Structure 1
Amino acid sequence: MSKNILIIEGSPRKGGNSDILTDQLIKGAEESNHNTEKIYLTDYKLNYCLGCYACQKGPCVHDDGMDKLIDKMMKAEVIVLATPVYFYSMSGQLKTFIDRTLPKYEEITNKEFYLIATAAVNEGFALERTFEAMRGYLDCLPGAQEKGTIYGVSSWLKGDVKRTVAMEEAYNMGKNI
């Protein structure tokens, strides 16, 4: 059965290591006849959440396209969150995006999530803090299910991930969604 997969690329660097892995996932998913759409957060100038809760009474005070991104999340069956690791956490772009889902996070229901992180470190344990932050977000979404993670270790310079097992893992993940 074909699924609608939304890939949210949190790297500020197109063609970087997490972007390469999401391309591999897309390749596998499309070979399995799934529909994919990748969003580059760098294509948007998302403002920070102000915590003003205007969104609880009406539209967000920021008119920056975030409402369209939330709608895409609500329509997708599968969501992939991808990020490079900066100082043991996700990119600022992905964190800002997550914070901005506040207006409708309770309506982003029953989604399958896949998590991808890349980092220069050689050991996967160093990415756990990043994945835990992402899992904290999933804990807030009704019915969210974490279905898989990819540890893109040993990926400092652009393209380093091409020499790792994460390439095959991302492709296989896409095939098996």
Structure 2
Amino acid sequence: MKQVLVISATPRKGGNSDVLCDEFVRGAREAGHSAEKIFLCDKKIGFCTACDYCQTNAGECIQDDDMAEILEKLVSSDVIVLASPVYFYTLNAQMKTLIDRVYARFTEVRGKELYFMVTAADTEVANMQRTIECFRGFADCLPESKEMGVIYGTGAWEVGDIKKLPAMGQAYEMGKAV
């Protein structure tokens, strides 16, 4: 049994990327894994201030917010799923803030299986590559981690559009295949 951590960065609970997260979780649980979804907008996470306090204090951040709890879960998980809506052809602010704050313990977030999910109104997968490259840049900093899959939820503008698109089945099947 693997520990699966799914991070939903959308500000819209029940929005397109959040629904994909739920499908991934459903598939992973059906396959017998432990799966948890964190909805970032329910969490208080401050911006990294680049003070480097964490680097001289065993990964402890000077900020007292929800990131310490999330970092513990990132370190202890086997599988990490990062899901973001695409805003102006890149990650949204919530996801980028999370990624920047992983700096405190990034060397401990090692050996993870990584999945990336993006949703966008744009229908061209090629236009989502910049966003996926942002995730890959982050992944390159996590020792011994491996990208396992990408889901492109293109053509999803209004809440619920994703439910009619192939990405729904893909998220479920990827979760099940963990």
> 2:151, 2:129 → 1: CA distance?
11
Query: Partner of 2:21 in structure 1?
Result: 22
Question: Aligned to 2:88, what secondary structure does the other structure show?
Answer: coil
Show CA shifts across 1:64-117 (max 9, x none): 021111000011000000000000011100100000011110111100000000
SS at match of 2:137: helix
Aligned position for 2:50: 51
In structure 1, distance between residues paired with 2:39 and 2:162: 19
Whether the 8 Å CA contact 2:44–2:67 is kept in 1: the answer is no
Encode CA deviations 1:4-25: one digit per residue, 9 max, x unaligned: 1000111111100001111111
2:103 equivalent to 1:102: yes
User: How far apart, in 2, do the equivalents of 1:18 and 1:173 lie?
Assistant: 15
Deviation at 1:42, TM superposition (A): 0.4
For the 8 Å contact 2:91–2:131, the answer to whether it is kept is yes
Q: TM-score, with normalisation over the residues of structure 2?
A: 0.97
> Does residue 1:68 correspond to 2:69, yes or no?
yes
The one-letter amino acid of 1:174's match is G
Give the distance between the partners of 2:17 and 2:28, measured in 1 at CA.
Answer: 16
- Counterpart amino acid of 1:82? A
Question: Matched residues, percent identical?
Answer: 46
How many residues are treated as equivalent by the alignment?
Answer: 176
Q: Tell me which residue corresponds to 1:78.
A: 79
Instruction: State the partner residue of 1:134.
Output: 135
5+ residue gaps in structure 2?
none
Deviation at 1:44, TM superposition (A): 1.1
